[in-house]
């Protein structure tokens, strides 16, 4: 069973602004983390740094 060591925080941003979310999870094998917007799974970005998952949504990186 996976364990979150850092939950993503809820935030509110103005339309067109950047929103950044992060989480940390302990699991073996390493998990695949999926992000959702209005209950729709967002595509994963092609760029990744260390274990961070980045996605581009509306011209902003999340």
Q: How many structural domains does the chain have? A: 1
pLDDT reported for residue 26: 84
Q: Which residue segment(s) compose the domain that 33 sits in?
A: 1-62
Are residues 22 and 7 in contact, defined by beta-carbon separation less than 8 angstroms? no
Sign for the pseudo-dihedral over CA of 32, 47, 7, 60: negative
| pTM for this predicted structure | 0.45
18-58 tens-digit pLDDT: 777 788 888 888 877 777 777 888 776 544 433 345 555 66
Q: Rounded to whole angstroms, how far apart are CA atoms 3 and 26? A: 5
Residue tagged 């092609």 (tokens)? 46
Q: Rounded to whole angstroms, how far apart are CA atoms 45 and 61? A: 9
């Amino acid at each position: 069973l996976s364990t979150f060591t850092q939950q993503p925080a809820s935030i509110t941003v103005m339309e067109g602004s950047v929103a950044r979310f992060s989480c940390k999870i302990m699991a073996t094998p390493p998990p695949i983390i999926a992000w959702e917007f209005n209950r729709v799974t967002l595509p994963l970005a092609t760029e990744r740094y260390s274990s961070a998952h980045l996605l581009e949504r509306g011209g902003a990186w999340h």
